[in-house]
Amino acid sequence: MSRRYKSWQGGSCRRHARRISDSIVVTNLALMIASSVGLIITARYLGVVDRGLYLTWSSWCAMIGTQAMLGTQAFIVVAAGRLNVRVSVPRLSAMLMIGIVLASSCAFAAMTWLNAGPVAVLGGVLLAISGPIVATHAAVQQANGHHGWRFNAARALSPIAGLFSVVFTLILLRPGPQELFLALGLGCLTGAIISVGVAHEVAAAKPQLIAGILQLARRGSLLVLLGWLILNFDTVVVSIAGRSSDVSIYGVGAAARSVVLAIGMAVGMRWFATRERFGSFKSVIRPFLPAVAAALGIAVVAPMAVPLVLGQDFAPSVPVVQLQAVGGVLASADFLLSHVLLVRSGYAWPTILRLALVLTLTGGIIAVRGRPIYSSAVFCSVMLMSVIAQIWIARLRKGWR
């Protein structure tokens, strides 16, 4: 193979990688906007206590829905690539059905344990069911090489439809938190189903596909599950250890963190997709500098913006927002370093580290009884420990500076 051809091929691959990562930017921005609008609307309408109930229910059911596939969806792309086949959601219906059954049953049990009313329980089950559908569909689109509107629809249509459903319910009715949560669950599930329909494509049956996915998942599914938990489990733990008002105040900070993280993830993954080498710590720092800028902006405007936008009752969340903005920067670094570490070290060390961090995060929040400021400090500390530990593990590998 000539040097000229290799250069052309490398340039083509990098351009393709940029297109993939650009789609992540678009989707993350759409989800960030939808999440922010949803926060403002529900906070203004429900107030601190009822917003805390609403967030508790949504945090539990979103966690259950995302984890219901047991991490197997992350390996659809690799398995399909090895077999060189196209895939579709219907061809994965057996695996998806197991996820849906697990999500619905666990969500029903969790919502019953949380003493939610029957309307909220139904909403929680619907919201949880949408999780496996969205996760599977997004992986299917990636496996088929679609990173444009199909991939964006798979990821974003469900939460956006959930937001529209909440808005229409508020316009047409005067709902309580249970009815509003039912509207959220119904909208998210409807959006997930519609996205599968509009982006559906025919794929041939391949019996070896699911076997290949499960074979890969035996090694890496635990890491996938722990990776999601470290970034999203904290609100659930606050709901266990604290009061409804604590969840509400903490949730405002978590929303600010998600804005910073969305920027950091988008920019970081664009860098990761186009880099060929990970030779130095400095080269990994540069990609999440935009997240630092976003965090500084949020920290500066929070004292004025939070009471103005959400209401004076949410003023106690200002220091939480500022702390969580810092947490978003650390989480962005953690997210990018976890990909670098996976490339360099495989599954074993990252899995052990993630397990230790999840246990530390859980124990720390319970120790401070879910109080929002201290819980935010615990999250930041755990993320800082993660970044330091991953750098240390990476430095054990030859060539890291």
Number of continuous H segments (helices) and E segments (strands) in the chain: 14, 0
Q: At what angle do helices 3-67 and 149-172 cross, to 10 degrees?
A: 30
Query: Is it the case that residue 64 has pLDDT exceeding 60?
Result: yes
Tokens at 16, concatenated: 């393709």
CA gap 68, 100 in Å, rounded? 7
Higher pLDDT pick, 156 / 30: 156
- Asked if residue 184 has pLDDT above 70, the reply is yes
Tell which wins on pLDDT, 344 or 258.
258
What number of other Cβ atoms are within 10 A of residue 299's Cβ? 19
C-alpha 51/C-alpha 245 separation (Å) is 8
d(CA 60, CA 239): 9
Q: What does the pLDDT read at residue 281?
A: 56
pLDDT at 8: 35
- Tell me, what's the pLDDT at 82? 86
Question: How many angstroms separate the CA atoms of 256 and 321, rounded?
Answer: 6
Cα–Cα distance for residue pair 263/148, rounded to 1 Å: 19
What confidence tens digit (pLDDT) does each residue in 94-151 have?
999 999 999 999 999 999 999 999 999 999 999 999 999 999 999 999 888 877 788 8
Q: Kindly give the residue spans of alpha helices, DSSP state H, lying in 68-92.
A: 76-83
399 DSSP 8-state letter = T
Q: Is 240 a residue whose pLDDT tops 90?
A: yes
Residue 286 has pLDDT above 70, yes or no: no
Q: What is the mean pLDDT of the chain?
A: 86
- pLDDT at position 231, please? 84
SS3 196: helix
The confidence score (pLDDT) of residue 1 equals 42
Element housing 175 (H / E): none
DSSP SS3 for 176? coil
pLDDT (mean) for 52-63: 95
- Could you tell me the residue ranges of all domains in the chain? 1-216, 233-401
Longest dimension (CA), the chain: 69
**Phi, then psi, of 397 in degrees rounded to 5:** -85, 140
Over residues 166-185, mean pLDDT: 94
pLDDT at 332: 86
CB atoms within 10 A of CB 30: 17
Segment 350-369 mean pLDDT: 94
pLDDT at 307: 93
| pLDDT beyond 50 at 10 | no
Distance CA 121, CA 107 (A): 8
Torsion of CA 304, 309, 315, 320, to 10 degrees: -90
- Whether residue 274 is predicted with pLDDT greater than 90 in this model: the reply is no
Sequence-ordered list of residues with C-beta below 8 angstroms from that of 3, at least 6 positions apart, any chain: none
Which residue has 């969790």 as its token pair? 110
User: Which residue from 175, 188, 189 is spatially nearest to 50, judged by alpha carbons?
Assistant: 175
What is the structure's pLDDT at 16? 47
Residue 72 has what DSSP assignment? Answer: G
Crossing angle between the packed helical segments 244-274 and 289-310, to the nearest 10 degrees:
150
| pLDDT tier for residue 287 given thresholds of 50, 70 and 90 | low
For 243-255, the pLDDT digits (tens) are 999 999 999 999 9
Structure tokens at 83: 């077999």
Question: Rounded to 5 degrees, what angle do the CA atoms 118, 120, 126 make?
Answer: 105
Residue predicted with more confidence, 23 or 73: 73
Q: Which amino acid is at 191?
A: G
Q: Which of 128, 121, 181, 130 is nearest to 155 (CA)?
A: 130
CA distance linking residue 284 with residue 51, whole number of Å: 38
What value does the mean pLDDT take over residues 222-234? 89
Rg, Å, the chain Cα set: 21
Return the amino acid letter for 346. Answer: G
pLDDT(384) > 60: yes
The pLDDT of residue 13 is 45
Distances (CA, A) of 386 to 188, 361, 371, 391: 32, 11, 22, 9
User: What pLDDT is attached to residue 400?
Assistant: 52
State mean pLDDT over 368-392: 93
